[in-house]
Chains A and B, each alone.
Chain A
């Protein structure tokens, strides 16, 4: 191992060993040694791309995963596969550091990156507060603290504004958030989705489910009888699609009052800055009258 490192140092002509190495703890508690210069970086998941751009470090991003589509700047960047990880393509981009998602990426990948001299920093976003914290952390790490601080405060203001609008509403409808229509994947205990629904003026009925991504039964939904069903079904979703998979649901309150809505999954399934927009979209269908503000 030492020989390989030595060889790498000779080949790349790197002088890092002479400098005092900076180290930092990432969100998974791993100690990451930082390279002396961080100019070329890659995200290993779409949510991380969005966080990097939000922290003002977008200009340092030199490639994105094949799933990336936001912000529009990423369209011009080279793509690589992250599931499974295409290490060769990333090494070929001559990157200084990679940024991974605790939810998406396998921590074992970091060992392979370490072997080729690319440190990996893991970001964990489990709550809405984590989003702005991660943006600030990334800004500090990449030397764009000011831009990161600005964007984080903007997002926090937006959330506070929404919370103020929905704080004193007389009713909080019971909401079921589904990930897809056929198999009833939902968010369980500890997910940010319940906080988003809460801010939007509703109560999530899956907030006490013991697993992280439970597969609900038709029976559970019938017995909870939610007032509203929303999901990352895409914007072209129609209610009949859900009923074709779950014919017994025709008597649910949400179905009778046609309170079933599909949204673009990116605003709910990517734990990044756009969740804030997602919360506003939710509020728009839960309390359309209260949202007629500026």
Chain B
């Protein structure tokens, strides 16, 4: 825990309080009194029921989902960049997001047999789709106990195209054009479905991901030097690769299921972080988590502020604000980007 980490954590906390108190209708003091009422077990006056719904059941879960999703994408992005030793890597390179989209559209547009679709919800369908995609990629990339990074990347790109085509085919041939817009909304990535129940799985998955990745920080540093030299450093390269893929599927799958494929966070956050912390994973991973979380929370705030009362998918804002910032950073730090 150095000063930076403490500062970032404090910023995250302030951002959450800011995020739940900003918006039309519910005033700042009113929002604070709702938070206080719930946080200290019924202390203070009982809040107005509408303000209570807005702050406690809509804004707070949404802010927390932004933190979890942003943080999760940040750490998985960093891990994927290390796994394939390619600066272009991001959480979606293994085809998980396209697979999840295909799964969700299959379910939502009513293309699954009723018996199956009754047992599913959209997040579960999305998760299953993502899992299908990663299983195909993994079975293509791995042979005789060795996992080829080049094949992993190529298979990921190919499966992503396949799943993308499948999802487009489903949406365009859908008998129900009204539902198409809902799928599109989800496809762009949005946090508007956040509720306390939606939060649980991503929260568990991201916590596991963060803990395991932190435990693997030293082997990951070794893998930056290449498979063979990592092996000679005593890193069990193949096992670490497998663990990373399983983690990426778990974390990315549950994130995409909850919020759609929010772009660019997983790509740019780890790079931005490395230009301040250097490449050691002991520093990169926690910083990617906090910076990703804060970035997505602010992006969502911007999305809410741009169209008051209406929604803008946050994925649009992450690209609009994040990419120019990233390009500036890229220009200023010529070295250190692989």
Q: Mark B177-200, 1 if CB is under 8 A from A, else 0.
A: 011011001000000100100000
Q: A217-B311, A251-B49 are in contact. Are A223 and B25 (CB under 8 A)?
A: yes
Binds A, one of B32-40, B52-60, B64-72: B52-60
Q: Mark A219-257, 1 if CB is under 8 A from B, else 0.
A: 110110100000000000000000000011001000000
Contacts of B192 in A (CB 8 A): 217-218
Q: Mark A174-185, 1 if CB is under 8 A from B, else 0.
A: 000001101111
Q: Is B327 an interface residue (CB 8 A)?
A: no
In the complex the two chains form, is B185's CB within 8 Å of A183's CB? yes
In the complex the two chains form, is A182's CB within 8 Å of B310's CB? no
In the complex the two chains form, is A209's CB within 8 Å of B310's CB? yes
Q: Is A71 an interface residue (CB 8 A)?
A: no
In the complex the two chains form, is A247's CB within 8 Å of B50's CB? no
B310, closest chain A residue (CB): A214
A83, closest chain B residue (CB): B177
In the complex the two chains form, is A219's CB within 8 Å of B181's CB? no
Q: Is B334 an interface residue (CB 8 A)?
A: no
In the complex the two chains form, is B182's CB within 8 Å of A182's CB? yes
For B, the interface residue count at a CB cutoff of 8 angstroms equals 23
Checking A180, A183, A210, A223 against B307 with a beta-carbon cut-off of 8 angstroms, the contacting residue is: A210
Measured in the bound complex, the distance between the Cα atoms of B311 and A182 in whole Å is: 13
Q: Is B26 an interface residue (CB 8 A)?
A: yes
Q: In the complex, how many angstroms separate the beta carbon of A251 from the nearest chain B beta carbon? A: 5
Contacts of B311 in A (CB 8 A): 184, 214-217
- Counting chain B CB atoms within 10 Å of each CB, which of A180, A183, A214 scores highest? A183
Checking A179, A217, A248, A251 against B309 with a beta-carbon cut-off of 8 angstroms, the contacting residue is: A217
In the complex the two chains form, is B181's CB within 8 Å of A248's CB? no
In the complex the two chains form, is A215's CB within 8 Å of B185's CB? yes
In the complex the two chains form, is B309's CB within 8 Å of A222's CB? no
In the complex the two chains form, is B54's CB within 8 Å of A223's CB? yes
Checking B54, B58, B310 against A216 with a beta-carbon cut-off of 8 angstroms, the contacting residue is: B310
B190, closest chain A residue (CB): A215
Contacts of A182 in B (CB 8 A): 179, 182
Measured in the bound complex, the distance between the Cα atoms of B49 and A16 in whole Å is: 71
- Counting chain B CB atoms within 10 Å of each CB, which of A182, A209, A216 scores highest? A182
Contacts of B49 in A (CB 8 A): 251
Contacts of A225 in B (CB 8 A): 50
In the complex the two chains form, is A211's CB within 8 Å of B178's CB? no
For A, the interface residue count at a CB cutoff of 8 angstroms equals 23
In the complex the two chains form, is A219's CB within 8 Å of B178's CB? no
Q: In the complex, how many angstroms separate the beta carbon of A227 from the nearest chain B beta carbon? A: 14
Q: Is B24 an interface residue (CB 8 A)?
A: yes
Q: Is B23 an interface residue (CB 8 A)?
A: yes
Contacts of A223 in B (CB 8 A): 24-26, 50, 54
- Counting chain A CB atoms within 10 Å of each CB, which of B181, B185, B304 scores highest? B181
In the complex the two chains form, is A214's CB within 8 Å of B309's CB? yes
CB-CB contacts below 8 Å: A197-217 with B: 209-211, 214-217
In the complex the two chains form, is A251's CB within 8 Å of B50's CB? yes
Q: In the complex, how many angstroms separate the beta carbon of B117 from the nearest chain A beta carbon? A: 15
Measured in the bound complex, the distance between the Cα atoms of B108 and A183 in whole Å is: 12
Contacts of A214 in B (CB 8 A): 307, 309-311
B182, closest chain A residue (CB): A183
Q: Mark B128-157, 1 if CB is under 8 A from A, else 0.
A: 000000000000000000000000000000
Contacts of B304 in A (CB 8 A): 217
CB-CB contacts below 8 Å: A232-290 with B: 247-248, 251
| Pairs of residues from A and B, 7 with the lowest C-beta to C-beta distance, nearest first | A214-B310, A223-B25, A220-B309, A183-B182, A215-B311, A248-B53, A248-B57
Name B's A-contacting residues (CB within 8 A).
Answer: 23-26, 49-50, 53-54, 57-59, 178-179, 181-182, 185, 192, 195, 304, 307, 309-311
Name A's B-contacting residues (CB within 8 A).
Answer: 179-180, 182-185, 188, 209-211, 214-220, 222-223, 225, 247-248, 251
5 example contacts (A-B, Cβ-Cβ < 8 A) are as follows: A180-B182, A215-B310, A218-B58, A222-B54, A251-B50
10 A-B pairs besides A217-B192, A217-B310, A220-B309 with CB distance below 8 A are A183-B181, A183-B182, A184-B311, A215-B310, A215-B311, A217-B304, A217-B311, A225-B50, A248-B58, A251-B50
